[in-house]
Amino acid sequence: MSKAKAYSATSATSPMAATTIQRREPTEQDVEIEILFCGICHSDLHSVRNEWSEFMPTVYPIVPGHEIVGLVTKVGSSVTKFKTGDLAAVGCLVDSDGTCAECKAGLEQYCPNLTFTFNSPDKHSRGVTYGGYSESIVVDQRFVLRVPTNLSLPGTAPLLCAGITTYSPMRRWNVSKGQKVGVVGLGGLGHMAVKFAHALDTHVVVFTTSPKKKEDALRLGADEVVVSSNTSDMQKHADSFDFIIDAVSADHDVNVYLSLLRRDGNLTIVGAPSKPLGVSAFSLIARRRSFSGSSIGGIPETQEMLDFCGKHNITADVEVIPIQKVNEAYDRLLKSDVKYRFSIDMSSLKG
């Protein structure tokens, strides 16, 4: 065991604060990583505040963080994928059973026995897993990803959750050149969806509640921006979208967006508000529309996404912060005030 500096919350109402955690010595399959940058996902905030208590109750203390890039510092004797000094990344998953149909299909995120990077029962200890708001992490090599060397590291960290969560459903629904794609909510996930949809040569329309994000949306690759409170602008897009991705973190009316899909169009929800969303049957029946969900992505597809980003030079637009500003960053997330992902410089933990 070794000690690692980290940031944790001890209850749903307490702020994140400095702490020390234990990391295991690498077993023969493990890779030890010194964490350089960790993105802040809205899921970190939902979990810290126990907003998903019904589905995934939080065990305290919680050390969040699942958008991790760093340097390999040690490898176990059977590790072939990595050597000391390599760049490496870890996303939302650190283990799965490896034997079920989901794992065999490379869809480890749907394995019934998966281990999330934080707040998940840890088979190596009696406690739960601790995430990336820390100096280091030890992970089975099967769940460690290779990082393209041409990408900036602070902007690469968010690819491990915001990136794969938006890339995966676009692949699943065969989003392709010439299609009309909607992105609802221009936050961490939403801005990555815009970049991917643009790289796939689609016509991208952003729906936002924040008029001040209009120019940024166009710069990020949107062809049109609609402020969702403007009903007549919304109406102009009725029955026209092939695919819409909804990345909103709070309660909202999805029927408004379902009505914008053309026949056989799909709306995939990736945002995870804690309250149920009311879907009208008529929103779906009318044009044989479908409404589906999607969880992050499997390990092979996450590597594919990172390689796609390397090829197309895609990273997240980040505001780099020291860990000491994490509570302020959470407050700003709740005000939709982030351009467009916070990336924590983990060297700040050493200070």
Query: Does residue 255 touch ligand NAP according to CB under 6 A?
Result: no
Contact partners, residue 235, CB within 8 Å, separation at least 6 = none
Give CA–CA dist 180/45, Å, rounded.
32
Give CA–CA dist 219/193, Å, rounded.
13
Query: Does residue 209 touch ligand NAP according to CB under 6 A?
Result: yes
Please name the residue that has the structure tokens 């815009």: 194
CB atoms within 10 A of CB 231: 8
Query: Does residue 113 touch ligand NAP according to CB under 6 A?
Result: no
204 bridge partner residues:
181
Query: Does residue 161 touch Zn ion according to CB under 5 A?
Result: yes
Shortest Cβ contact with ligand NAP: which residue? 187
String marking each residue 29-58 x if it binds ligand NAP according to CB under 6 A: ------------xxx--x------------
- With CB under 6 A as the contact rule, which of the stretches 68-76, 170-178, 259-267, 331-339 interacts with ligand NAP? 331-339
String marking each residue 165-204 x if it binds ligand NAP according to CB under 6 A: x-------------------xxxxxx--------------
CB atoms within 10 A of CB 200: 20
Give CA–CA dist 219/215, Å, rounded.
6
Q: By C-beta, is 72 or 226 nearer to ligand NAP? A: 226
CA angle 161/168/238 to nearest 5° reads 110
Query: Does residue 321 touch ligand NAP according to CB under 6 A?
Result: no
270 binds, among Zn ion, ligand NAP, none (CB under 5 to 8 A by kind): ligand NAP
Give CA–CA dist 198/192, Å, rounded.
10
336 binds, among Zn ion, ligand NAP, none (CB under 5 to 8 A by kind): ligand NAP
Q: By C-beta, is 76 or 273 nearer to ligand NAP? A: 273
Query: Does residue 138 touch ligand NAP according to CB under 6 A?
Result: no
Interface with Zn ion in residues 25-54 (CB under 5 A): 41, 43
Q: By C-beta, is 35 or 41 nearer to ligand NAP? A: 41
With H, G, I as helix, E, B as strand and everything else as coil, classify residue 234. Answer: helix
With H, G, I as helix, E, B as strand and everything else as coil, classify residue 241. Answer: strand
Among 73, 240, 255, 336, binds ligand NAP (CB under 6 A): 336
At 30, list the tokens.
């493990």
Give CA–CA dist 257/247, Å, rounded.
12
Footprint on this chain of Zn ion (rule: CB under 5 A): 41, 43, 161
